[in-house]
Amino acid sequence: MDATTEPWTRSQLQERDTWNLKGLYASANDWQADCIALESQLGTYASFAGTLGTSAARLKACLEFDTQLSRTLESIYTYAHLRNDEDKTHTGHQAEYEKATQLLTRYQQACSFINPELMNIPEATMRDFLNDPELEFFKYHIEKQLRFREHTLSEKEEALLAASSEMARTPQNVFGMLDNTDLNLGQIEDAEKRTVQITHGNFQSLLQNYDRRIRRETFESVYKSYEQHQYTFTALLDGSLKKDMFYARARNYPSVREQALFTENIPVTVYDQLIETVHNNLEPLYKYFAIRKRRLKLDELHIYDCSVPLVENIKWDMNYEKAVITIGEALAPLGEDYVATVTQGLLENRWVDRYECKGKRSGAYSSGCYDSNPFILMNYMDDNINSVYTLAHEAGHSMHSHFSKSHQEYLYADYTIFVAEVASTFNEALLTRYFLNQDIGPDMKIYLLCREIDNFRGTLFRQTMFAEFERDIYTSAEAGNAMTVDSFKDIYNQLLMRYFGSEVTLDPCLALECFRIPHFYFGFYVYKYATGISAAYALAERVTKGGDADLADYLNFLQSGGSKYPIDLLKGAGVDMSSPKPVATALKKFKDLVDELETLAP
């Protein structure tokens, strides 16, 4: 599929182009049976309530029961959300997803007594428990929970907060429906006078079109759509902030940001030094915009000019099957077993839902659960090199999950978000390295250098800008300021001016971009893309230039899941993210790429 193709309906897709959910549940009836079985078991939690401090054996029994139910619920929820994302307009899938979220809420209510009881076990008794062989397997899990002692409420209060979780997802859910289903991004006329419906899937491809009229009209049409709904988007984003603030205050955190970072044991200094380090290294970014403006021979460089390739005689055309083969060759430094597993998963084993279709969720992700293979949602476009990189990126997530589940028990298999972007970005770095090592001419080298630069720009600079936006809007809201349309747009516009400098002409409508970003509904997530690319490039450098021991360290990192805190996992792989050094090193790599581009494209 390419950007000018009308999206298919789900029924038009070939089976090989869709993910195979039968390994998770053979049928919707089997899924329903698990739902019924889980519902019948929720009452068992009551038999454990009030008894966790009586003995290590009793505590172990409760944790084993909870682990088993959590594992089943994970399968139930995964199946429902994947089916719902296949077609957001399918009412049957919507009902399944609603059922899964209701079960999740009921589960959270039923088990909400566990943490308060853990916190109320006297410290001396808990020390004895933790030294008891009965609890050896659960020791790290319990110690992680005990960190939250001062942020854990009474049993009744915890039950009340758990009961509110389904309601609290409303801003996020409404944003998803509005953005993916109800929002009409408009139409444009392509160079052949054909009408093209703009979608989230082809938006970036259209912005890479060499015809500036197409780029401009696409940009204007999309932002006109967001402008027409800007007050609704404001209410949703403001509602999400208020929701996060309510939970942070209820649990005695100084701020939403500190709550988010505390969960993964990440020092706040990591967040602030990321922003500071990027601020101190913006000049190479401004230099790149100047090169782009000069190379495109433009009097004014607009945002819709910042994605089009600088070499006009190169067109990208790589179908999905060729992309998988290419990715496999690029990942050769990770070993034959890694490459065989990932290529089989992407092709024969149907991990991937490949193409855009009507009603399908936009974007891309890797998902799955402990008892399934990984699943990758794609909206693959043959004519967009970003699709190849996105596939490599999501395959990195999937292989991280595959290794983790293969080497860790369920309780410790789920790695945290802080390290989640490392394996994915690592794969992208290897893909660029592979392309640049091919026998290519200067034009193709310019093309690929720009792609690498734009990857840095989109992942390190852009996500840091998003992180700064999140920090600023939460700081403002927590200070009691009303968050209006103008409040959000003013804060975002100030950041646009800082990160784009004087070389880029900022269209006023671009301030509406803050309402397009789904990650803002998962508070303080985006900074991890920036730290992730920094760690990934450091690790890629070690693996490609090092020996077997360096590769073993990296694969051990993938296999470790959530068995340690994320900072410690990365230290074991050879990268210290508590220091600004990895971010500074990544920014130095960006500067070198820009300097090389300037030499090739003066």
> Which residues are marked as active site?
394
CB-based contact 250:161 (threshold 8 Å)? yes
Q: Which of 147, 100, 29 is nearest to 565 (CA)?
A: 147
Separation between Cα atoms, residue 42 and residue 26, nearest integer Å = 24
Phi first, then psi, for residue 179 (nearest 5°) are -75, -35
Instruction: Give one DSSP letter per residue of 455-505, joined into a string.
Output: HHIIIIIHHHHHHHHHHHHHHHHHTT----HHHHHHHHHHHHHHHHGGGEE
Q: How far apart are the C-alpha atoms of 347 and 295, rounded to whole Å? A: 39
- The answer to whether the CB of 488 falls within 8 A of the CB of 226 is no
Cα separation, 137 vs 481, whole angstroms: 47
How many angstroms separate the most distant Cα atoms in the chain? 77
How many angstroms separate the CA atoms of 261 and 247, rounded?
14
Token match 């671009």: residue? Answer: 510
- DSSP state string for 298-348: -SSEEGGGSSS-S-TT------HHHHHHHHHHHTGGG-HHHHHHHHHHHTT
CA-based angle 7:218:445, to the nearest 5? 90
